[in-house]
Amino acid sequence: MLGFLKEPVVVTAKINVNLVALTMMGLISRLWGLCYPRAVVFDEVYYGQFVSLYMKRIFFVDDSGPPFGHMLLALGGYLGGFDGNFLWNRIGAEYSMNVPVWSLRLLPALAGALCVPLAYQILVELHLSHCAALGAALLILLENSLITQSRFMLLESILIFFILLAVLSYLKFYNLQKHSAFAGSWWFWLLLTGVACSCAVGVKYMGLFTYMLLLATAGLHFWHMIGDQNLSNVSLLCHFLARGLALIIIPMGLYLSFFYVHLALLYRSGPHDQIMTSAFQASLEGGLARITQGQPLEVAYGSQITLRNVLGKPMQCWLHSHTNTYPIRYENGRGSSHQQQVTCYPFKDVNNWWIVKDPGMQQLVVSNPPRPVRHGHIVQLVHGITTRYLNTHDVAAPLSPHSQEVSCYIDYNISMPAQNLWRVEIVNRESDTDVWKTILSEVRFVHVNTSAVLKLSGASLPEWGYRQLEVVGEKLSKGYHQSMVWNVEEHRYGKSQEQKEREVELHSPTQMDISKNLSFMAKFTELQWKILTLKNEDTEHKYSSSALDWITMDTNIAYWLHPTSGAQIHLLGNVATWASANAAALVYLCLSLWYLLRRRREIYDIPEDAWQLWMSAGGICGGGWAVNYLPFFLMEKTLFLYHYLPAVTFQILLIPVVLQHLSDHLCRSVLLKSMFSALIVAWFSSVFFVYCTFSPVTYGQPALSLTELKALRWKDTWNILMRKQ
Amino acid sequence: LNALFSTATETRLQAGAAGARSPREPPARPSRGAEQIGYYDLCFVGVFFSSWDETHFGKMGSYYINRTFFFDVHPPLGKMLIGLAGYLSGYDGTFPFQKPGDRYEQHNYIGMRGFCAFLGSCLVPFAYLTVLELSKSLPAALLAAFILIFDTGCITLSQYILLDPILMFFLMAAVLSMVKCNSCADRPFSASWWLWLSLTGVSLAGAMGVKFVGLFVVLLVGLNTVYDLWDLLGNLSLSLVMFGKHLLARVLCLIVLPLALYTAIFAVHFAVLNRSGPGDGFFSSAFQSQLIGNNLHNVSVPEHLAYGSVVTMKNLRMAGGYLHSHWHLYPEGIGARQQQVTAYLHKDLNNLWIIKKHDSDTDLSDPSSPVEFVRHGDIIRLEHKETSRNLHSHQHEAPLTRKHFQVTGYGINGTGDSNDFWRIEVVGRKTGKLIKVLRSQVRLTHVATGCILGSSGKTLPKWGWEQVEVTCTPYLKETPNSLWNFEDHINPKLPNISLDVLKPSFAEILLESHMVMIRGNSGLKPKDNEVTSKPWHWPINYQGLRFSGVNETDYRVYLLGNPVIWWLNLVTIGLYLLITVCTAVALKRGVQLTSELKELSRVVLRAGGQITLGWLLHYLPFFMMGRVLYFHHYFPAMLFSSMLTGITWDAVLKFCAGFLSPSTTARRVYGGGFLALVLLILYSFYLFHPLSYGMIGPMASNPSSPMAGLRWMDSWEF
């Protein structure tokens, strides 16, 4: 029974000292003096506001990416006990005492530090020598740009960490494939690949590129497995399903869960509310929810409503009218109907209220029981304050002359009859019920006489229209567009017969109680769509650069400047590393082409296993560089040097691959080999020298004098800040 | 084949004639009046398809006949051919092509339409031959041909004076000759091999010369050639010298020959169009000096800039306009309420500025005072000649580009303040050098704020007369936006030199016109709130284009694919993917196939793969384009999709028939399947033919219309 005691309990530990040492050095280089400078550095001003909003649980939309990265930064703030009270308004502002700078910057710095051992492991898993792997890790360690980027509250180092983790776990998984398929560790690394991929995508959409690369690699490897006649069809199917589950289903689920946590955390209304639909706004605490709480759900004949345009661009606005009329002649000489203006007004106003009227009846109150309006019903819309009918006719609109003017009808007795019948079309009606609902229904108003559709043109009217937005009847309606869709935001059942009473009623706030809840999937779809489609207009920036500038590092970004001394922080790569990475990529490309052509003529220069290694290592490192870099040439957004960092990380990993290949296969004699090793040592010391030279602008200390700064300006295009004394 | 060809041509020509005979009312609706205002704005392209493109390309045909210079975003071959067809058929180029729906009256336009219709009909035999060559199966070829004959979209598109039939003609010709050349691979360097190879090159040049979309077919042929060469390289029985010959032949026929032809097209274009016309303003000053009738033609101006000179300044960005000011002020709430400064595309007296010294106000027009040249690095003042205000900037935000500073006209009679001082610098020059008219690229730096004068390219609203915004940018990036050159230069005290020295070489003209076209293309951005066609709409035939007629009484033509055919094509793409994956996996797993099935899988993988690649190349890039897209952009891809349908259904039916052992049943299944498909296509054509041959009467959304039952999707508006 106690047989196990017969043997002594032995714990054998194998510690890879390389790995430990690298991790230690990584931590030291990234964490040293993390709190310095105690001021807002570059994009901290941008991410910081989101951290504050997380702390205050206020909802926001950030079009720069999905929320996981922001949440990680906020986690740092949460652990440090940050209360969110800091005004993130300018770069260089001193942090107040309540901001836990160290813990806010800790996570990115840790992620950056762990990239060093990850690089080592990746090259080992690619079957390169430990010496090459050590070289790769040291290059990452001494890369100034990666150090700068990881020492502040920024997302790139976290992104790079997850990307490298995904690559490493896939390689581990692939190497386990041959002898221990479906074993515990096999599953672990496979699942970790999926998890790391979705984390990378969740931090920044750039992670998608690496995810695609890994999917393609997995696809290629699986294709080779299909050709393997030893595997039965059933085991092939199992392999396929396991990969599908781990690499597609789980990442998607995780990605959804990021949004779930995001939406669960942020439940208060905030500055970005107006971007979202009314239904979404109503689901947040405060804001619109306070107003719309407890409105009647179904719009009925006699309902008093405000109509919001669904598009929300150029700003959110409500259908509006006021007593002023269109000018008889516009500035360009065209005439108008001179009837009452109908506009879209970006502020809440009593003139935004409209009453839904049944054309067949006179009364403007809701009958008992209420008769709900359904899809396809014909209604008239009466402006609450002026009791005029919404009307459109074949007159050119003020600013969009190929659309119809929309007005509130005034009878001038000039044989221009009222055309005020509108058909209600509910765009998002469900199959079972087609009743027009407050907030939830998106409605098009189709004019019965001319089949024009009520549309927000987006142009703002001149002085006579108080710069409100133009509303037109679109005749050539080409399918669905959000500018033609409206939804009811505020709603109450009208009770007053008389105009005077009604005015009082319109001025009074709506009050009733039913709460509305959107499902998580509906919220997710909407938020995701807004993140993808939101466009920031003004995109010029002093330090923006083009993708071509990055390879040669013709550009830099000044992150921070000390208010009095010359101490400053720049995003600036290690010139020696970048140049050699470019050279390595070039050599790799030329050699591969050469080998490929020669192999096609059946001349084999290197042994088969060396060729396999060359292709797989190049596929991961070179491919990683290509997929993370080339897409930027197709992008139209503002680009910065830091967008290149994931690509350059992969490119740096390529250097040892190429060097080892050169020394193994091209240096045939011993003399050559030793000369090559000497060269490598010399080159490595130059990398270290450059690192030391630029470390003052990487860490921001010590402060440099003017002449020292001038000496650092190795390229004319670098923007090193010199204070005039 | 002959019969096939003539029926197709007849269908199309008939259609063209029918379209011409029928009455067409000019759209007199009040709401459509203002459409034609901005015809030279780039946004005109956004308008033209609300009715016809014909006004656009027909007009360009007239320009060739009248030899006036114009600008278009497409290369010139298509319009040149239209012009040629018009010229040969007796059209005199006098029809104004002003607005869609104008009657042609006595003008002879049939030649131009007939030419386009003829090229459009050639697509049918081309598709037939291509599929026949690829699949060696007559039914497959016939099916592809039938699809193209009876597709309403293809018919409509080839009836009118448009570039698309010409483009598709060259595109299909290139594909056909490529396929033919591939089949000649067993006897390389034979006469027919050379013929098809060089024909491929010629068609590529043609396709590129009509529209830049031709680039995709160039890619297709390029990939095919690379594959081919890779194959040859692996063939060890071929010596390297032979391989070199193969390589050289392809370089000659597929690179050198098309490039030479393409250049020749442009040479003809610039030789024919030698008179000043509406397109001048888009090009640089040096280019304009080439055009007869342009005010820069054969003129002589003083070479170096001096104080007191009266000048115009042109922005170097494409269609950048002249620095301009006028008596109007910026409206309230937009920066300081001072005089507007804009960039204006047209020549105007308000574009004139006087160069003055910053520190002295002496009257420089006094003939006795000595001439003093402006030098690189000088600080100057620019006074607007008409209003005597100085070019001025200050730290107010610009009207549209909020991060830039506002530029205004300030001061009375030339007296302003220190915010009127600008440092003038020539790009790539040292201090103290003189500044040359037209040739110097100049940057104006605001002395007080350090910002640079530039044009943002954004159009100002009504208050700014829809001219282009001018700002002072604090970002010191060197872009054409912030560079200017001096174009007109008046100074009576200086001797004039002739501008012939400026004459650009042909290579420069070619490069410049390409830059202008590319920027023009990418400048066609959809506006906010504008409903645009999305690429995913196209294969599902989601929405067509109105070609003519809006109202019930109009004679209406609507560009929409025959839905049965298009949906068949769509289903086929899915089907093709499915059978490709199955075949590839089966082959990889080493399943033993009969010789028939092997042949079938070769057709599916190789021939189908080629065609699918063509479809992908002509479709996917549109997802990445930022410019305005239209439904008709899908038609080149649709040609490939139709050919794929022929090949795939042939393979599927053969495969199904192969399972049924008695050959009579097999043949019956095979024949029956084809007959069903053809009948389906014929019947659907009968249903939908009014789309292309014209409809009259109530709209289809009205239940009383004869087309009401055919409105299968809510988004169709015929």
Which range, of A79-83, A85-89, A531-535, B362-366, averages the lowest pLDDT?
Answer: B362-366
Maximum mean pLDDT: which of A23-32, A537-546, B354-363: A23-32
Residues A545-581 have pLDDT tens digits of 888 889 988 888 989 988 888 889 999 999 999 999 9
Q: Which amino acid is at A111?
A: A
Confidence of residue A513 (pLDDT cuts 50, 70, 90): very low
Write out the DSSP string of A650-662.
HHHHHHHHHHHHI
Q: Do A396 and B715 touch (CB under 8 A)?
A: no
pLDDT at B552: 63
pLDDT for the residue numbered B550? 61
Is the pLDDT assigned to residue A30 strictly greater than 50? yes
Kindly list the residues from chain B whose CB atom is less than 8 angstroms away from the CB atom of residue A721. Answer: none
- Are A636 and B626 within 8 A, CB to CB? yes
Residue A638 has pLDDT above 90, yes or no: no
Residue type present at position B74:
H
Q: Is the CB of B31 inside 8 Å of chain A's CB atoms?
A: yes
Q: Report the mean per-residue pLDDT for chain B.
A: 81
Better-scored residue on pLDDT, B464 or A214:
A214
**Which of A100-109, A355-364, A387-396 holds the top average pLDDT?**
A100-109
Please choose, from the candidates B3, B10, B47, B7, the residue with its C-alpha nearest in 3D space to the C-alpha of residue B27: B47
Chain B residues 35-74 with CB within 8 Å of chain A: 35, 50
Number of residues that this document lists for chain B: 718
pLDDT band at B37, cuts 50/70/90?
very low
Chain A / chain B CB contacts < 8 angstroms: 90
User: In the prediction, which pLDDT does A48 show?
Assistant: 92
Long-range pairs, B566-569, Cβ under 8 A, ≥24 = B566/B151, B566/B153, B566/B539, B566/B540, B566/B541, B566/B638, B567/B540, B567/B541, B568/B147, B568/B645, B568/B677, B568/B680, B568/B681, B569/B147, B569/B539, B569/B638, B569/B641, B569/B642, B569/B644, B569/B645
CA torsion through residues A594, A597, A603, A604, sign: positive
Q: β-strand A443-447 against A390-396: which pairing, if any?
A: unpaired
Question: What does the pLDDT look like over B280-323, one tens digit per residue?
Answer: 777 777 778 778 887 777 777 888 888 888 898 888 876 678 89
Which of A105-114, A391-400, B257-266, B511-520 has the least mean pLDDT?
B511-520
Which of A404, A451, A541 comes nearest B31 by C-beta? A404
The angle at the Cα of B691, spanning B688 to B694, to the nearest 5 degrees, equals 130
Q: In the prediction, which pLDDT does A514 show?
A: 42
**What is the percentage of chain A residues whose pLDDT exceeds 90?**
44
Rounded mean pLDDT of B13-18?
Answer: 43
Most B CBs within 10 A among A426, A478, A632, A637, hence the mutation to make, goes to: A478
Distance from the Cα of residue A268 to its chain's centroid: 21
**Range A327-352 average pLDDT:** 85
**B590-599 LR contacts (CB < 8 Å, sep 24+):** B590/A227, B590/A229, B596/B658, B597/B655, B597/B658
- For position B50, what pLDDT does the model report? 32
pLDDT above 70 (res B638) = yes
- Average pLDDT value for residue range A54-60: 90
Q: A495 pLDDT band (50/70/90 cuts)?
A: confident
Cα B346 to Cα A627, B298, B314, distances in angstroms: 45, 20, 11
What's the CA gap between B135 and B126, in Å, rounded? 14
Contacts of B167 (CB under 8 A, 6+ apart): B78, B207, B210, B211, B213, B214, B636
Residue A510 confidence (pLDDT): 54
Chain A interface residues facing chain B, Cβ-Cβ under 8 Å?
223, 226-227, 229, 311, 313-314, 331, 334, 394-397, 399, 401-404, 451, 455-458, 462, 475-481, 483, 538, 540-542, 597, 600-602, 634, 636
Contact A462/B462, CB-based, under 8 Å?
yes
Residues of A in Cβ contact (< 8 Å) with B458: none
Query: Which of A455-469, A659-673, B292-306 shows the lowest per-residue confidence on average (mean pLDDT)?
Result: B292-306
Q: Answer with the residue of higher pLDDT: B430 or B370.
A: B370
Provide the pLDDT confidence category of residue B25 given band limits of 50, 70 and 90.
Answer: very low
Contacts of B463 in chain A (CB under 8 A): 462
Cis peptide preceding A702, ω within 30 of 0: yes
Residues of chain A found within 8 Å of residue B588, distances taken between Cβ atoms: 223, 226-227
Quote the tokens at residue B199: 């024909």
A251 cis-preceded (ω within 30 degrees of 0)? no
pLDDT band at A249 (very low <50, low <70, confident <90, very high): very high
SS3 A577: helix
Contact A380, A357 (CB under 8 A): yes
What is the rounded (10 degree) CA torsion for A653, A658, A664, A666? -170
Chain A interface disruption, residue of B472, B531, B546, most A CBs within 10 A: B531
Q: What's the whole-number average pLDDT of chain A?
A: 87
Nearest to A577 by CA among A661, A696, A659, A664: A659
Percent of chain B at pLDDT > 70 equals 85
Asked if A476 lies within 8 A of B546 by C-beta distance, the reply is: yes
Say yes or no to pLDDT of B3 above 70. Answer: no
**The pLDDT of residue A489 is above 90:** no
Per residue in B121-167, pLDDT tens?
999 999 999 999 999 889 999 999 999 999 988 888 888 888 899 99
CA distance B715 to chain A (A): 5
What pLDDT shows up at residue B367?
66
